[in-house]
Amino acid sequence: MNDIDVAPKPIQQYGALCFRNTPNGPKVLLITTRETRRWMIPKGWPIPGLKPRKVAEREAWEEAGVIARAKKKPFGEFFYDKLMQDGSGRDHSLPSSYWRSAVTESAFQKWRNETPCG
């Protein structure tokens, strides 16, 4: 048996590339990260019992407040360096698969439709 060091496989994240169609073309939703305030798409860690695209939909709701329907197959993948608020980081590049996700409703629209005003 060889004593070869093998780097651990990076943990996969899943994200939603949220968009809505407008008369002037599609608009893409970006959020900022809590710690470093970088622009990013809603994404998160795998959740046991949920398919990756369902994780992407949940992250769209939890992180951006939108209800989005993800396509069945991933749209693409990107790698990013994990940075911490103190500037440290880049332990490794994390892969993130993302799904094209049509926004159907925002949290504000949902609240407005369900809350009686008067």
Residue with tokens 């710690």: 35
Tens of pLDDT, residue by residue over 64-98, are 988 888 988 888 888 777 665 566 555 556 678 88
Overall pTM surpassing 0.75 (yes/no): no
CATH topology of domain 13-113: Nucleoside Triphosphate Pyrophosphohydrolase (3.90.79)
Closest CA to 101 of 69, 65, 74, 56: 69
Q: Whole-angstrom Cα distance, residue 26 to residue 29?
A: 10
Domain boundaries, the chain: 13-113
Supply the DSSP string of 24-48, one letter for each residue: TEEEE--EE-TTT--EE--EE---T
